[in-house]
Amino acid sequence: MSDRPGTDRPIEIAPSVLPADFAKLGEEVAALEAAGVDRIQWDVMDGRFVPNLTFGPDVIAACRPHASVLFEAHLMVEAPDELASRYVDAGCELLIVHAEACRHLHRTLGHIRHLGARPAVALNPSTPVDAIAHVLDLVDLVLVMTVNPGFGGQDYIATMEPKIAAVRAMVLEGGHDVDIEVDGGVGPTTIEGAASAGANVLVAGSALYRDPRGLGHAVHELRSLAEAARG
């Protein structure tokens, strides 16, 4: 049995770099660390799995020296097996692959672990939790998408909250040592629902960058709301 059941895993705030100023990403990741984030998520998009194109491994490698917090790569790509090693080499400790993009998900997750990185799996809104029922022993994190992937600034899909709770129940029932992450539309008016449903790692992009009181205030506010929601 896990010694850290889902209810007491620490709340973590993970900024998406998507809304940051791409002309100065090194400074941006340093500012995120200074604001108190727990990890940084890179939304990697290939223009095929999702209709957008973002960060190659060299961009992430260039930013790696500017922050010491964990880098995770959210691989919204058609061929994660082909790209995984590039993002590990770039300095991403945790790699999130989409169940929908993996013909052999069990093998892909094992491959990521073999590369020396921490494997994680993401589920798009329409994908049932059964898709990950047989790989929970292979992952360190499950990401439940609360938007359809591809762009920041979308509305949070609240109907995903029962799905978050279902993943948490599966993790607890199996005694797995797994974080539950939520990504998409997370902000002051939605984070409480995600946290009370069972998420402990909350990805936010727009909500952090649109706070007029700055990144530090936004990170503190989101963490406080999530911790209060869990009671």
183 is catalytic: yes
* 224 Cβ neighbours under 8 A, 6+ residues apart: none
Do 154 and 185 contact (CB within 8 A), yes or no?
yes
Residue 39: CB minimum distance to ligand DX5, A: 13
Any catalytic annotation for residue 137?
no
Q: In the complex, what is the shortest distance from the CB of residue 128 to ligand DX5, in angstroms, rounded to a whole number? A: 20
Site residues for ligand DX5 per CB under 6 A: 16, 18, 43, 74, 76, 147, 149-154, 183-186, 203-207
DSSP string, 124-168: -TTS-GGGGTTTTTT-SEEEEESS-TT-SSPPP-GGGHHHHHHHH
The residues with which 121 forms a beta bridge, in sequence order, are: 97, 142
CA distance 148 to 87: 23
Q: Which of 43, 46, 140, 179 is catalytic?
A: 43
Report angle CA 195, 118, 70 to the nearest 5 degrees.
65
Residue placing its CB nearer to ligand DX5 in the complex, 69 or 172: 69
Closest CA to 77 of 46, 102, 54: 46
Question: Minimum distance between the CB of residue 97 and ligand DX5, rounded to whole angstroms?
Answer: 14
Nearer CB in complex with ligand DX5: 85/154: 154
* 140 versus 156: smaller Cβ distance to ligand DX5: 156
Query: Could you say which of 46, 140, 179, 183 is catalytic?
Result: 183
**Residue nearer to ligand DX5 on the CB measure, 20 or 186:** 186
Instruction: Give the residue numbers annotated as catalytic, written as ranges.
Output: 43, 183
